[in-house]
Amino acid sequence: MIVITNPSAIANEISIIDSLFEEGLSLLHIRKPDFSEVETAKFIHQIKHKYRKNLVLHHHHQITADFGINRIHFSETERKK
């Protein structure tokens, strides 16, 4: 199963994410288009370290190495560039 985050912050989101991973979630796409780089980093920092290898980052690709994230997503618009 693959899940994409809600573009906006939602209540208890990090605990929901951790629960999904505990139940066998394969990949979580972090899609927070309105989050700044700092907000995105704070969001990722709250996710348990052992699950970060299962994250796909849609924005602020430059921070992937800081969190051990090996997957990035490019929108169709970005791919056309």
pLDDT digits (tens, 9 = 90+) for 9-57: 999 999 999 999 999 999 999 999 999 999 999 999 999 999 999 999 9
**Which of residues 50 and 79 earns the better pLDDT score?**
50
Local structure of 27: helix, strand or coil? strand
Could you tell me the strand order of the sheet in which 71-72 lies?
Answer: 2-4, 27-30, 55-57, 71-72
CA 25 to chain CA mean position, Å: 13
